[in-house]
Amino acid sequence: MNLEHIQRKIYEIRGFKVILDFDLAYMYEVETRILNQAVKRNIKRFPPDFMFQLTDQELKNLMSQFVTSSWGGKNKCKQLNLKSNENSLKSNKTTSP
C-alpha cells in the first residue's frame, strides 16, 4: 500500500486527523472487529485521547462525503476513530490473534 493511498484515508473530524477503524483494519489486513478487539485488549498501551467514536450525526455527515462508501453503507455502528499521529501509529501497532 502506497503513502498516497494511506493519506486519502485520513479525515479531519473534530479538528483531529483520524483514520477510521475499518480503513486501518484494511491496511493491517484484518477484520474490523479483530482490530477493535485488539485495541480493547491492549487499551493501556494507548494514550487516553488516542481514539473516539463518531456521534450519529458525524457518521451521517461522513457517509455523505463518500462518493462510493468503502463499507457499503451497511455498517450502522459508530466507528472507532484512531487519531492519526505518526508516532502513535508506529509505536502502537496491534496484533491479531
pLDDT reported for residue 29: 94
pLDDT of 88 strictly over 50: no
Does 92 map to a domain?
A: no
Instruction: Tell me whether residue 47 is in a domain.
Output: yes
Domain count, the chain: 1
In a domain, 95, yes or no: no
Q: What is the pLDDT of residues 17-39, one digit of tens each?
A: 888 888 999 999 999 999 989 98
pLDDT, residue 73, reads 46
Alpha-helix residue ranges (DSSP H) falling in 1-97 = 3-7, 21-28, 32-41, 56-65, 86-91
Scanning the structure block, which residue is given the C-alpha cell 484515508?
Answer: 9
Q: Is residue 71 part of a domain?
A: yes
Full-model pTM: 0.63
Evaluate whether 25 touches 34 at the Cβ level (below 8 Å): yes
